[in-house]
Amino acid sequence: MAETPLQLQIRFFAVLREQAGCSILKLATTARTPAELYAELQKSHALTFPANLLRVSVNERYGEMQTPLTTGDRIVFIPPVAGG
Amino acid sequence: MFELTATPIDPADRARRLAAPEAGAAVIFEGRVRNHHLGQPVTHLEYEAFDALAQAEGEAIITETEQLYTGTHVHCVHRTGSLQIGEVAIWIGVASAHRAAGFAACRHVIEEIKRRLPVWKKEHHPDVAAEWVNCTTEAATNLTLSAYHTRHASLPEVGAAGQAKLTAARVLVVGVGGLGCPAALYLTGAGIGQLTLVDGGHVELSNLHRQLLFTLAEVGAPKVLAAAARLRLQHPAIEIKTHQGDLTATNARALVAGHDVVLDCTDNFTSRFILHDACQALGLPLISAAVHRFEGTLDVFQRGTGGCLHCLWAGRTASELEPQENCAGGPVFGPAVGVLGVMQAAETLKLILGLAGASAQQTRLVNLLDGSALTIERLARPDCPVCRRLDQLPAPATAQPSERETIWINDAQLAALGPTAKIIFLLEPGEMAPSTGRSNFLAIPAHDLAALREFVATGPVALSCRHGLRSAALARLLRAEGGPEIYALKAAPDQS
Ligand SMILES: [Zn+2]
């Protein structure tokens, strides 16, 4: 039996926003963790930034790439930023 | 070239000597004796310079100015002795290839002379007894009486008490670039008492679009010197210290110590981790910002509250995190660093004033393209080795203003420094030494710097003099040379 897709809101920051070509994306996905979601987005949006250097926020709180997602979650992928 | 002279200055002759074939611009400033001061009529005045010190300080100002404004050549003559109304008291001439640097250098010399040169003046008024006034003290205190801060202090959240907290605060800004320039400018405007700037870089043309403390005239100059000069024009009463060099693992703790709040305006993770670790170790709040093109992040790190920088990046190292595109040449939207730098200044002021602000448990993400701002909760990781180690340290002690280094000392405090503590009375030309009957009391000519340095090396010394002006100025200068146990005595020693 196919899993029910999750409805998620994704926000891209800095270099990821440039690669994705948008700030906010709403999608239905079978991904169940930020790690799975990012792997999916890497393919669909040609994101080259390595997953192991990302921080992720789930519903305005830092989470882990393995944090389980539920429908309606707001996800932000945050790469390191250093300019000044 | 710097010169002190007791004979009248001939401006025409000085201007002729300034001429140089390679100089496309000559900028001249004449400071003249005017017939009024602070609402009082003035009939004439006298200048007295502490010759050896004034000469050395004058030369240092010229050297620094020529370094700050490349391609300038500075002549400066300062009068001593009795001057009539309209006479030239100071003459400054700058020969330079281009006018911008010439004007800027000329302005810089007169501002630094007013601020630093150990010169005393005695204004003669028709009805009031004349007094010697230290010109540098006068330059610094005139402003405190003005209405500079009333629009800020009239905020109920600030008030006179809040403004006093700002005046007592010492803030360190590491990195004087796109973030550091606006941050330092707003901290200066707010009347932060002491601002320390750290940066090893030089002003570059390709950075002027976002480093708005600098102009074309300063291209090539050390950033901390150019920034300090600009900030002093904004608020002459603020003490601005500079460290012309990079923050390193070796010097970080020493640079951070002695401040109340630290701003991370660096452009790389290596410096950020070093600065963060020094602040955490000393228990100082760090307000950190970083920008990528149109977007930026703001974090406040405070030991024991929320997660630290290591919690945030979960053990990833600075070199792993360092973006490919960093500030040394990467594209940057000027207003993005402007907004984030001003936000850093705002967080700093709120911390000092004790206002609720960005707590030390949040990251702010700011996007200037779509105007969005997002706040993300940042928690400590229970397994963070850095936080766990810091938890075992005793709570950091914050120094009270009264405990901070002071130049003034009284008899009782001097006695507490031990039996070797001496009072040295500085004799002006023709002055007799007062007799005190005290065994630790010596009198030496004020101009004998070599003898003074010898005494300073032997143990604690408190300088004293007739007006209490030279003693304080000299104590500061000798302390700046590296004599920590030198003070100025608050009252003249009792005469028996
Ligand atoms: Zn930590």
Structure ipTM: 0.94
Pairing of strands B44-49, B81-84: antiparallel
Tokens 């750290």 -> residue: B198
Tell me the domain boundaries of chain B.
Answer: 2-137, 145-398, 407-495
Question: Does the distance separating the beta carbons of B316 and A62 come in below 8 Å?
Answer: no
Any domain includes A1: no
* Helix/strand/coil for B181: helix
CATH of domain B145-398: 3.40.50.720
Q: Could you tell me what percent of chain B has a pLDDT over 90?
A: 59
> Would you give per-residue pLDDT tens digits along chain A (84 residues)?
467 899 999 999 999 999 999 999 999 999 999 999 999 999 999 999 999 999 999 999 999 999 999 999 999 999 999 988
Any domain includes A67: yes
Annotate A15-79 with three-state secondary structure. HHHHHHCCCEEEEEECCCCHHHHHHHHHHHHCCCCCHHHCEEEECCEEECCCCCCCCCCEEEEEC
Q: What's the distance, Cα to Cα, between the start and end of chain A in Å?
A: 51
Minimal C-alpha gap between A9 and chain B (Å) = 14
For residue A57, give its domain range. 6-78
β-pair partners for B364: B298, B375
Residue range B439-479, pLDDT digits in tens = 888 888 877 777 888 888 888 888 888 766 678 777 877 77
Residue range B32-44, pLDDT digits in tens = 999 988 788 889 9
Ligand 1 mean position, distance from CA B286 (Å): 14
Of A44, A75, A41, residue with least CA distance to A61: A75
Shortest CB distance from B376 goes to which of A14, A23, A57?
A: A57
Cα–Cα distance, B284 to B307 (Å, whole number) = 14
User: Tokens at residue B95, please?
Assistant: 């020969």
CATH number at residue A11: 3.10.20.30
Ligand 1 mean position, distance from CA B387 (Å): 4
CB B265 within 8 A of CB B177: yes
Catalytic residue among B106, B181, B279, B327: B327
Shortest CB distance from A76 goes to which of B175, B327, B374?
A: B374
* Catalytic status, residue B327: yes
pLDDT tier, B484 (very low <50, low <70, confident <90, very high otherwise): low
* B324 compared with A61, residue with greater pLDDT: A61
Tokens 């602000």 -> residue: B357
* Helix/strand/coil for B145: helix
Shortest CB distance from B378 goes to which of A52, A53, A62?
A: A62
Q: What's the distance, Cα to Cα, between the start and end of chain B in Å?
A: 46
User: Tokens at residue B441, please?
Assistant: 């009391």
* Catalytic status, residue B384: no
| Closest-CA residue of chain B to A60 | B376
- Domain B407-495's class? alpha beta
pLDDT tier, B399 (very low <50, low <70, confident <90, very high otherwise): very low
Q: Provide the 10 A C-beta neighbour count for residue A24.
A: 14
How many beta-carbon pairs under 8 angstroms link A with B?
Answer: 96
Q: What total of structural domains would you count in chain A?
A: 1
Q: Does domain B2-137 have CATH number 2.40.128.20?
A: no
Cα–Cα distance, B241 to B192 (Å, whole number) = 12
B145-398 and B407-495 have identical folds: no
* Helix/strand/coil for B315: coil
Spatial CB neighbours of B422, under 8 Å, sequence gap ≥ 6: B440, B441, B442, B455, B458, B459, B460, B461, B462
Any domain includes A14: yes
Any domain includes A84: no
Pairing of strands A55-58, B119-124: unpaired
Name residue B428's amino acid. E
Any domain includes A83: no
Interface test with B, best of A9, A19, A60, A62 (most B CBs within 10 A): A62
Name residue A80's amino acid. P
Residue range B330-354, pLDDT digits in tens = 899 999 999 999 999 999 999 999 9
